[in-house]
A and B are shown apart, each in its own frame.
Chain A
Amino acid sequence: MAFSTSRFLAILMKEFIQMRRDRMTFAMMIAIPIMQLMLFGFAINSDPRHLPTLVEVHDSGPFVRRFLAAMETSTYFDIRGTVAGSRDVDRVLKAGNANFVVTIPENFERDIIRGEKPVLLVAADASDPSTSGSATSALSVLAQNTINSLATGPLSYLASTPDAFSVVAHARYNPAAITSYNIVPGLLAVIISMTMVMITAIAIVRESERGTMETLLATPARAPEVMLGKIIPYVFIGYVQTCVFFILAFWVFAVPFAGPITPFIIGLNIFIIVNLALGFLFSTIAGNQMQAMQMSFFYMLPSILLSGFMFPFAAMPGWAQTIGLVIPSTHFMRILRKIMLKGADLPDIVPDLRALLIILAAVSILAMLRYKRTLD
Chain B
Amino acid sequence: MTQETATPVIEVEGLVKKFGDKTVVDQFDINVPKGAIYGFLGPNGSGKTTTIRMLCGLLTPDAGSGRCLGYDILRQSDNIKEHVGYMTQKFSLYEDLTIRENLDFMARMYRVPDRKQKVDKALEELGLANRSHQQAGELSGGWKQRLALAACLLHGPDLLLLDEPTAGVDPKARRDFWDEIRRLSDAGVTVLVSTHYMDEAIQCDNIAYIAYGKKLIDGPARKIPEMVGLNTWRVEGPDLANLAADLEGSDGIEQVARFGSALHISGMDAKKLDNAVNPFRKDKRYTWTSKPAGLEEVFIHLMSGSTDNFAEKKAA
Residues of chain A having any CB pair with chain B under 8 Å = 4, 6-7, 9-11, 13-14, 17-18, 21-22, 210-215, 217-222, 373-376
Give the nearest-CB partner of B109 in chain A: A219
Which chain B residue lies CB-closest to A221? B109
C-alpha spacing A56/B119, complex, angstroms: 85
Other A-B contacts than A7-B109, A221-B109, A375-B59, 10 sampled, CB-CB below 8 A, are A10-B108, A13-B105, A13-B108, A17-B101, A211-B92, A214-B58, A218-B56, A218-B58, A219-B81, A222-B78
Q: Chain A nearest CB: distance from B150 CB in Å? A: 13
Q: Which residues of the partner chain A approach B82 to less than 8 Å between Cβ atoms?
A: 220
Smallest CB-CB separation from A20: which chain B residue? B96
- CB <8 Å contact, A215 and B78: no
Are B95 and A14 in contact (CB-based, < 8 A)? no
- Residues of chain A with a CB closer than 8 A to B56's CB: 218
Tell me which residues across on chain B come within 8 A of A215, comparing CB atoms: 88, 92-93, 106
Among A10, A21, A222, A375, contact of B96 (Cβ-Cβ < 8 Å) = A21
In the bound complex, CA of A124 to CA of B81 (Å): 69
Question: Which residues does chain B contribute within 8 Å of A10, judged by CB atoms?
Answer: 104-105, 108-109
Residue with the highest number of chain A CB atoms closer than 10 Å, among B84, B88, B106, B108? B108
Residues in chain B near residue A9, CB distance under 8 A: 108
Our pick among A6, A11, A22, A373 for the contact of B111 (Cβ within 8 Å) is: A6
In the complex, what distance in Å separates the CA atom of A211 from the CA atom of B86? Answer: 14
What are 10 A-to-B residue pairs whose CB atoms are below 8 Å?
Answer: A7-B111, A11-B109, A17-B97, A210-B92, A212-B94, A213-B92, A214-B58, A214-B88, A215-B93, A375-B58
> What chain A residues lie within 8 Å of B111 (beta carbons)?
4, 6-7
Query: How many residues does chain B have at the interface if contact means C-beta atoms less than 8 Å apart?
Result: 29
Q: What's the Cα separation between A63 and B111 when bound, in Å?
A: 83
* B60 CB contact (under 8 Å) in A13, A210, A374: A374
B95-131: CB near A (< 8 Å → 1, else 0) gives 1110001001110111100000000000000000000
Expressed in whole angstroms, the Cα–Cα distance for A217 and B106 within the complex equals: 12
* CB of B223 within 8 Å of the partner chain: no
Q: Is the interface of A mostly helix, strand, loop or mixed?
A: helix
Give bound CA distance, A349 to B142, whole Å: 59
Alpha-carbon distance between A18 and B109 when the two chains are bound, in angstroms: 17
Q: Check: B90 CB closer than 8 A to any chain A CB.
A: yes
Contact at B101–A14, with CB atoms within 8 Å? yes
Report the separation of the CA atoms of residues A17 and B93 in the bound assembly, to the nearest whole angstrom. Answer: 14
Residues of A within 8 A of B77 (CB): 373
B101 contacts across to A, CB distance below 8 A: 14, 17
B267 at the interface (CB under 8 A from A): no
Instruction: Check if A7 sits within 8 Å of B108, measured CB to CB.
Output: yes
Is residue B258 contacting chain A, with contact meaning CB distance below 8 A? Answer: no
**Across-interface contacts of B182 in A (CB, < 8 A):** none
A17 CB to nearest chain B CB (Å): 6
Contacts of B214 in A (CB 8 A): none
Q: Look across to chain A and name the residue whose beta carbon is closest to the beta carbon of B56.
A: A218
Interface residues of B in 226-283 (CB under 8 A from A): none
Closest 5 CB pairs of A and B: A10-B108, A219-B109, A220-B81, A218-B86, A211-B92
Q: How far is the CA of A221 from the CA of B106 in the complex (A)?
A: 11
Residues A218 and B93 in contact in the complex (CB < 8 Å), given A14-B101, A375-B58, A376-B60: no
Q: Pick the contact of B105: A14, A218, A373 (CB < 8 A).
A: A14
- What's the least CB distance linking B105 to chain A, in Å? 5
Q: Counting CB contacts under 8 A, is B53 at the interface? A: yes
Return the contact of B53 from the options A213, A220, A375 (Cβ within 8 A).
Answer: A375
Q: Which residues of A contact B78 (CB under 8 A)?
A: 220, 222
In the complex, whether B57 has a CB less than 8 A from a CB of chain A is yes
- Residues of A contacting B84 with CB < 8 Å? 218
CB-nearest residue of chain B to A211: B92
Q: With the chains together, A374 CA to B60 CA distance in Å?
A: 7
Of the candidates B57, B92, B94, B110, the one whose C-beta lies within 8 Å of that of A14 is B94
Interface centre among A10, A13, A373 (most CB of B within 10 A): A10
Which A residue sits closest to B94, measured CB to CB? A212
Contacts of A219 in B (CB 8 A): 81, 106, 109-110
Residue contact B92 to A212, C-beta cutoff 8 Å: yes
Q: Known contacts A17-B101, A18-B97: does B109 contact A220 (CB below 8 Å)?
A: yes
Smallest CB gap from B57: residue in A? A374
Which single residue of chain A is at the shortest CB-CB distance from B112? Answer: A6
- In the bound complex, what is the Cα–Cα distance between A158 and B106 (angstroms)? 79
Question: Given contacts A219-B106, A219-B109, A220-B82, is CB(A210)–CB(B95) below 8 Å?
Answer: yes
- Which of these, B86, B91, B93, B108, contacts A6 with CB under 8 Å? B108
Contacts of A7 in B (CB 8 A): 108-109, 111
Contacts of B93 in A (CB 8 A): 212, 215
Chain A residue at minimal CB-CB distance from B95: A210
What is the bound-complex CA distance between A191 and B189, given in angstroms? 53
Q: How far is the CB of B88 from chain A (nearest CB, A)?
A: 5
Q: How far is the CB of B58 from chain A (nearest CB, A)?
A: 5
Do A211 and B60 have beta carbons less than 8 Å apart?
no
B90 touches A211 (CB 8 A): yes
Give the complex CA separation of A210 and B58 in angstroms.
16
Bound CA–CA A211/B89 (angstroms): 10
Considering the chains assembled together, what is the distance between the CA atoms of A21 and B96 in angstroms?
7
Contacts of A221 in B (CB 8 A): 109
How does the 8 Å CB contact mask read for B132-167 relative to A, with 1 for contact and 0 for none?
Answer: 000000000000000000000000000000000000
| Residue-wise interface mask of B (47-60) relative to A, using a CB-CB cutoff of 8 A (1 in contact, 0 not) | 00000010011111
